[in-house]
Chains A and B, each alone.
Chain A
Amino acid sequence: MAAGRGTATVFVSAVACAAVIIGALEWEKTVALPSPFGQVINGVHRYSIDEFNYYYKPGHMIWRVGEKVALTIDNRSQSAPAIAHQFSIGRTLVSRNNGFPKSQAMAVGWKDNFFDGVPITSGGQTAPIPAFSVSLNGGQKYTFSFVVPNKPGKWEYGCFLQTGQHFMNGMHGNIDILPAQGS
């Protein structure tokens, strides 16, 4: 009798435990954007990129040359006090050597900024901004839009604050930019 009740308790606990774990992990996935292609509204591909300590959600996007993209960067730094994060897209890391013979160079920026010569629309104004990057304090949000320029291939985005410590801690993601449709 007692053993039977014990078995039932353990069984019910196991089922409830599995349900809660699966539910929580599935919910966690929905917090991020489900699709690397973004959400298309009126022909604009909308992405919301959440900045956490020290990663982006999503960490991967797929764009196509010529499509309109609207990015919302949301700094959701979990720590208190929340800390600032940065967002910039580029290729080829600029690193600062710290005297050690090999590696251990800190990545501090991009050699090629993706937004070079790209008109960026923000707050009703459109203009190219040299070396464009977005820096936000904790809790801030910023939206901008642009047309994906003809620079297909693999690009990366990252945060280089604190002399590249954020980048080294894993605060980077990548974008596959596909050639224009039909080309």
Chain B
Amino acid sequence: MATNQMQVQPLDDMNGDKSAFTITMLYPLLRATFWGLTGYFAAAWITAAVTGNVLVGALPATVGYVAGMIGWLLGSGVWEGWIRRAFGGKEAPSYTGIERYFRFGPDSKSTAVRYVIFNIAAFFFAGLFAMAIRIELLTPDSTSWWMSEVMYNETFGIHGVIMLLGVVASAIVGGAGYYLLPLMVGARNVVYPKLLGLSWWLLPPAGLAVFLSPLIGGFQTGWWGYPPLAQNSGNGIVFYALGAATILIASLFGAINIAGTMVYMRAKGMSLGRVPIFIWGLFAAATILIVESPATYTGALMDLSDMIAGSHFYTGPTGHPLAYMDQFWFLFHPEVYVFILPAFAIWLEILPAAAKRPLFARGWAIAGLVGVSMLGAMLGVHHYFTAVSDARMPIFMTLTETVSVPTGFIYLSAIGTIWGGRLRINAAVLLILMAMMNFLVGGLTGIFNADVPADLQLHNTYWVVAHFHYTMLGGVIFTWIGALYWWFPKVTGRKINEFWGKFHAWWFFVFFNCTFFPMFIAGIDGMNRRIAIYLPYLHQINMFISISAFLLGAGFLIPLANLVYSWRYGPKADANPWGSKGLEWQVKSPTPYVPYPATIEPEVVGPNDNYAPGAKEPFVWVSTPSK
């Protein structure tokens, strides 16, 4: 189990992270900020002056965003690291010290760490927006001292966009996924390292644009951006369309890497059946993004073109708003599987190691992951049953309910794995068991949403809000925090505080359910979603929801403090503290810049989740053949 002797010596020679931090390491970040802002304001100013518009107009904001994005990317190191060489110049050296965390570069591990930082920051601010929503809903009428109805609309819109595209879209895929992807398949890096590096640098301006959209007029469409309301409710929709399109394109860059790395970069002996289950989950999610995301980001850009270029895709005499809904949900329904499939796969990755039992029904679990991703493309219409012809309803109802079959494979695989095992419950495993419970509630209530007769009643009520938060917050975010805890020793070389980990897990579980379960009841009782003002008989239950939400929100400071404190002062961890057979645990912690040195590499001789007594080691270390 211990790190193979053959591996020790080369690994000791490769410690990149020892250089001390200096202020000059922040220069790429500063330069990116300045160049981005200069690009935005200069381009918006010129456009506004030339077209007789104002800075906050739709066209100047669009041109400014594009120029600002280019400035930001060039400043972050894309110029030296990528573009300059394309023009015949000198390429920047490979940064292996801590400066790689602050600049564009081809290193997938520092990219993944930046993803985690970005997701935590986005989660924090979008979470504050959620708190603002709950303050507004403390009273049935509009609270004049807090926010106007317009601000309320903008608040839940930004909360939705950022939580979905800025947090859950990249929480597991970006953080755990891009970190573990090369390690788990036994590669030294992903297949397109620079493309992966670029994918992170696209996110901060996009997220910032959505957050700051009220400065140019806000948008009141919620996170859907449906025309024709999009064209008529404020210019901030420009930043929404651009931000959402940018983040989807960034996800696509990551997805290309996931699929390419899994197909082309696997270690010797790693047949498709031996690919770690988490990589299968990522792959299933990546196929969804590759196949379906173009329909949706082009939809957002076509909507933008209706606003700035006078086209009539969705508005005006020849436009068709329903076409936007078709394009939007073509990705955004399967997008929730992009969020949840890696989470499912994390359960199946961690539970065998925690229960020391082989993964149960591995082939069926893979079939479940791939099956969900294949079915997902066919059922977006169930989001707007109230807007489509009757002929489409039974088809999409049936297809949607079919999804519970492959999802069932995954649940049965997880239950079969821990059945009869002796589960070692640490904070990560506890969070994952809770995520399974939460997602079960979210999944079962989804059947009612998919059922046309029930859906026509439940449509646009808090029932849907509760269902969605059970799957996303209860399913994905619980798993995300569990994954951060589980792989924390691999990234930092230290362990998190187990007591506070378990404490806040229970805190979350209690107040999460206190917040969102009553929303099912409020929804059935007639509480519409996306309203600042509701009927007085719903006051009591909303008070209860709001107070639980404040406690839930405050509880998120515990894992934040735990992660930050443990990163500096946590107890030192071994290379393999959980006794896992995963390939990523066989290298040193924290992972060296090049996880597998030039001289040696792993060869896979068995599945990595076989914990049966007496099972042989799944890997042997062999010399890299000289080419």
Contacts and interface: CB of A to CB of B under 8 A. Distances in A.
Given A6-B27, A10-B34, A80-B310, 5 more contacts: A13-B34, A13-B35, A17-B38, A78-B59, A80-B58
Contact of B308 (A31, A80, A170): A80
Nearest to A162: B232
Contacts of A28: 48, 54-56
16 contacts: A3-B24, A6-B27, A7-B24, A7-B27, A14-B30, A20-B38, A24-B45, A25-B55, A28-B56, A78-B235, A80-B310, A102-B140, A103-B141, A104-B142, A162-B232, A169-B150
Given A9-B31, A162-B232, A23 B38 contact: no
A61 B35 CA distance: 38
Contacts of A25: 55
B289 to A, nearest CB: 31
B37 interface: yes
Interface of B: 24, 27, 30-31, 33-35, 37-38, 41-42, 44-45, 48-49, 53-59, 75, 140-142, 148-150, 217, 220, 231-235, 306-310, 315-316, 533, 535-536
A54 B316 CA distance: 20
A162 B220 CA distance: 15
A63 to B, nearest CB: 25
A41 interface: no
B142 A10 contact: no
A24 B306 contact: no
B30 A10 contact: yes
A168 B149 contact: yes
A53 B54 contact: no
A101 B533 CA distance: 10
A100 B533 contact: yes
A104 B232 contact: no
B265 to A, nearest CB: 34
Nearest to A4: B24
Nearest to B55: A28
Contacts of A165: 232-233
Contacts of B30: 10, 13-14
B34 A14 contact: yes
A16 to B, nearest CB: 6
Contact of A24 (B33, B41, B231): B41
Interface string A34-62: 00000000000000000011100100000
Contacts of A23: 41, 45
Interface in A64-79: 76, 78-79
A177 interface: no
Most chain A CB neighbours (cut-off 10 Å) among B54, B231, B307: B54
Contacts of B307: 79-80
Contacts of A83: 231-232
Contacts of B41: 17, 20-21, 23-24
A104 B533 contact: yes
Interface in A118-150: none
A137 to B, nearest CB: 14
Contacts of B48: 27-28
B24 A6 contact: yes
B539 to A, nearest CB: 11
A81 interface: yes
B27 A52 contact: no
Contacts of B533: 100, 102-104
Given A13-B38, A20-B41, A21-B41, A53 B217 contact: yes
A25 B45 CA distance: 9
Nearest to A102: B141
Interface string A148-166: 0000000000000010010
Q: A-B pairs with the 6 shortest C-beta distances?
A: A13-B34, A102-B141, A17-B34, A24-B45, A78-B57, A24-B41
A133 to B, nearest CB: 20
Contacts of A80: 58, 306-310
Nearest to B35: A13
Contacts of A162: 232
Nearest to B319: A81
B182 to A, nearest CB: 30
A170 B218 CA distance: 11
B42 A24 contact: yes
Nearest to A2: B24
A54 B533 CA distance: 22
A158 B310 CA distance: 27
B128 to A, nearest CB: 23
Contacts of B235: 53, 78-79
Contacts of A6: 24, 27
B71 to A, nearest CB: 9
A83 B307 CA distance: 11
A17 B59 CA distance: 21
A52 B54 CA distance: 10
B341 to A, nearest CB: 38
A54 B237 CA distance: 13
Most chain B CB neighbours (cut-off 10 Å) among A20, A27, A28: A20
